[in-house]
Amino acid sequence: MDGTGGRKVLTYPNIILRSTAESVTNIDDDLQDLVALMIKVMYASSGIGLAANQIGELKRVIVFDQDPESKEQKPGVLVNPEIVSREGKIVYKEACLSVIDFTSDVSRNSRIHVRGHDQYENQVDIEASDLAAICLQHEIDHLNGKLFIDHISSLKRSMYKRHLKKELKKAQKKDS
């Protein structure tokens, strides 16, 4: 048993992934349980970040690995995160637990300052750069109903959508 309670990461084109998450107004036991579950799902899925809407919860909560380039698990939590400042540019080949079988170069800010709260209501300010900054921007995008494929060319996006439709049709025929 992996401790995820059978919760799976939702995959595109699930409509919940295009929904805007709502601000968290009450940090309670239910939120603690959600955070613990999200961390388990993130690591069980070999991810470095996860937004609550990726598991069907429309709450402004993200979890992330604080040192995504290390093998050691060091989970971080942000409730109601917002990017306060951003600078620089970096291009990185991104993937997503919700966008299966696809990676693409995405241009993002190379340094960001993010503010939010942890799961204990403490204000958190994070100065992140490179992969950590990419991860935080990626997860905050999820909270706004945006996927990394929204940052790529319309041609690449339509090619991915056609490929996904074919794969979904194959899977449906196989299940029939």
Residue 4: predicted pLDDT: 64
Instruction: Give the mean pLDDT of 143-157.
Output: 96
In angstroms, rounded to a whole number, what is the distance separating the alpha carbons of residues 79 and 66? 15
Task: Provide the 3-class DSSP secondary structure of residue 54.
Answer: helix
Q: What is the pTM of this model?
A: 0.92
Q: Is 139 a catalytic residue?
A: yes
Task: Provide the 3-class DSSP secondary structure of residue 29.
Answer: helix
Q: Which fold has domain 15-175?
A: Peptide Deformylase (3.90.45)
- Using one digit for the tens of pLDDT, what is the confidence trace for 26-59? 999 999 999 999 999 999 999 999 999 999 999 9
Q: Which of 121, 127, 139, 167 is catalytic?
A: 139
Residue 29: predicted pLDDT: 95
- Using one digit for the tens of pLDDT, what is the confidence trace for 73-121? 999 999 999 999 999 999 999 999 999 989 999 999 999 999 999 999 9
Domain locations along the chain: 15-175
- For residue 124, the number of C-alpha atoms closer than 13 Å in the C-beta half-sphere is 20
Residue 1: predicted pLDDT: 43
In angstroms, rounded to a whole number, what is the distance separating the alpha carbons of residues 126 and 142? 18
- Using one digit for the tens of pLDDT, what is the confidence trace for 158-175? 999 998 888 888 888 887
